Amino acid sequence: WCSKHWRVCMLSRLGHVHKLLCPWEFPGKNRDLTDPGIEPASPALPPLQADSLSLKIEFKPKRTDCYQCDNKIVCKFPYVIKLALSYMGKSVKNAMSAGAKGIILYSDPADYSAPGVQPYPKGWNLPGTAAQRGNVLNLNGAGDPLTPGYPAKEYAFRLDVEDGVGIPQIPVHPIGYNDAEILLRYLGGIASPDESWKGGLNVSYNIGPGFIGHDSFRKVRMHVYNINKITRIYNVIGTIRGSVEPDRYVILGGHRDSWVFGGIDPTSGAATLQEVAQSFGKLLSSGWRPRRTIIFASWDAEEFGLLGSTEWAEENVKTLQERSVAYINSDSSIEGNYTLRVDCTPLLHQLVYKLTKEISSPDDGFEGKSLYESWLAKDPSSKSKTLPRISKLGSGSDFEAYFQRLGIASGRVRYTKNRKTDTYSSYPVYHTIYETFELVEKFYDPTFKKQLAVAQLRGALVYELADSKVIPFNIQDYAKTLENYARSIYNLSRKHEQACRHHGVSFESLFSAVKNFSEAASDFHRRLSQVDLNNPMAVRILNDQLMFLERAFIDPLGLPGRPFYRHIIFAPSSHNKYAGESFPGIFDAMFDIENKADPRSAWKEVKKHISIAAFTIQAAAGTLKESL
């Protein structure tokens, strides 16, 4: 889906252009109609245009009925709808369901600026001329929107575009906050309900519709010139054949496409992938060869909805789900420079702890200490202050199809900001023209030591997973994680204790299944400690049980309304796909349940998903036994 160019302009009563708002990012003033390359306004309006509509703001996307938006352009605010922290496609979907006819997105400085930091190029904050790009598809793991669930090969049956998965039916346009301020300054309607609805601009943040005073007659016109085109994309795949188990794969994958220069996303990750591959090449030249096959994958079209990685997974699904040991993601190596961040399956926790103790910390003040020590000091776990924090996998990068759909053990590591003090989203210039190599070199990682540490950890994970005789997974960590998640979802239900009793909702089966899984995990590790490592068949049997455990948490029917998210324990949050949610079926069934029109049916859905989770965990425990 390629964009040609866009315009947003305010019209006078007679239709004359008052102010042109463009997504091009220049440090100076906005371009006007006399600038080269700007097409004159034409009375012949192109398709997909919201023309001459009053402007109205729609807030609070969790309440899709909060404001009716018929025949209005909707100006969505990251600071209110958490566009800065969540997926912008969800915001578009919410606005469409409320009746919006067009959407103008901008990044508010309240969410994209750090206090005391200059805008780029003098600092690393977001300039007012910056427009954040991004896809607004709501694919939910479907891959190519015209071939959901199947590889987009030449012979593939394709849906018509109007039937494609998750494709917005209204125009969407990004602008910088300098341009947004002009629109907001003249916006009329009622005032914001409270301060939490306001951002960092010097405007009243009225809700609309329409403009105020002498500007009440003005309208907003959107020109969106999108070219919908089926085009070829290219994944680049390299392999090192395993010496003992060539039919077992460890995958290191990351994307190389970017919205503009991609100084951080993806280049810091693509460079890491190249360096790790080169290092393994040198090992190979010295006579070493891994026990298992290593696959290096450079994905295309990640920014368009994880298309390259998902289509390759769909094309090779039968082989991958039978032979893959693990997938390690190599997207952006840095999104900040404070400390390490790890998101992974519980199977990898102990391996990550072990390897970070063997890598030197790149952080100031931790000279001579390990990466583990600086990570623990800066970001301890909320569950145990003796361990560093490891987060759940959500979505937003190329591990999605491998973990959420196929059940392949996955992980990602990178450097990040201080989550306790840095409240701005991700990194301020994310997906803008200001995300350059100079940004990284001057502000984020001048010595490149942090990216080196990330490359060492990613490479070490691949090395250990590919060359250890016994796959270095720890199932007992999974058991502890399930115990914590079961308690958390039960505690959430206690907010509705009376309703649970009334509708006969019980978590007893879930707790019983988790207990059985914990016992099976302990027994498995006892057998693992006693295995004869010189007996290849005995080792292979246990390795297969380790490899297939993650697959045991996959439900072939998927989650309600999200059939390509099939992991019963982990899934992207329904309300923010970048974040991970535990027991997503139960959580989604209970979400906002007190406002459901039919409480009886709603609580039946909760009971159903408790049952599914209990069965899945019990079945996973069964895979750890020697026999049925």
CA-based nearest residue to 624, from 530, 555, 544, 536:
544
SS3 227: strand
Distance between CA 400 and CA 393 in Å, rounded?
Answer: 9
Q: What is the DSSP string of 561-611?
A: TBTT--BSSEEE-SS-TTSEEESHHHHHHHTTGGG-S-HHHHHHHHHHHHH
Query: Is 544 within 8 Å of 563 (Cβ atoms)?
Result: no
Cα(481)–Cα(403) distance, rounded to whole angstroms?
A: 17
Nearest to 467 by CA among 242, 152, 262, 176: 242
Residues annotated catalytic, as ranges: 302, 506, 544, 567
Strand partners, 247: none
Show Cβ contacts of residue 280 under 8 Å, excluding neighbours closer than 6 positions.
Answer: 240, 290, 294, 296, 459, 462, 463
Under 8 Å between Cβ of 623 and 549: yes
Looking at beta carbons, which pairs linking 359-362 to residues 24 or more positions away fall under 8 Å? 359/453, 359/456, 359/457, 359/460, 360/453, 361/453, 362/447, 362/449, 362/450, 362/452, 362/453
Task: Kindly report the backbone phi and psi dihedral angles of residue 388, in degrees, each rounded to the nearest multiple of 5, phi listed first.
Answer: -75, 160
49: three-class secondary structure by DSSP: coil
Task: Say if residues 144 and 136 touch (Cβ distance below 8 Å).
Answer: no
Alpha carbons 382 and 331: distance in angstroms, whole number = 26
β-partners of residue 410 are 327
The residue length of the chain stands at 628
- For tokens 């300054």, name the residue: 185
For the chain, the straight-line distance linking the first and the last C-alpha, in angstroms and rounded, comes to 50
Helix (H) or strand (E) holding 184: helix 177-185
d(CA 521, CA 269): 35
What's 333-399 look like in SS3? CECCCCEEEEEECHHHHHHHHHHHCCCECCCCCCCCCEHHHHHHHHCECCCCCCCECCECCCCCCCC
CA distances from 242 to 211, 291, 425, 552 (A): 67, 5, 41, 25
Long-range contacts at 182-186 (CB < 8 A, ≥ 24 apart): 182/10, 182/19, 182/21, 183/10, 183/21, 183/55, 183/75, 183/104, 183/220, 184/75, 186/211, 186/212, 186/213, 186/215, 186/218
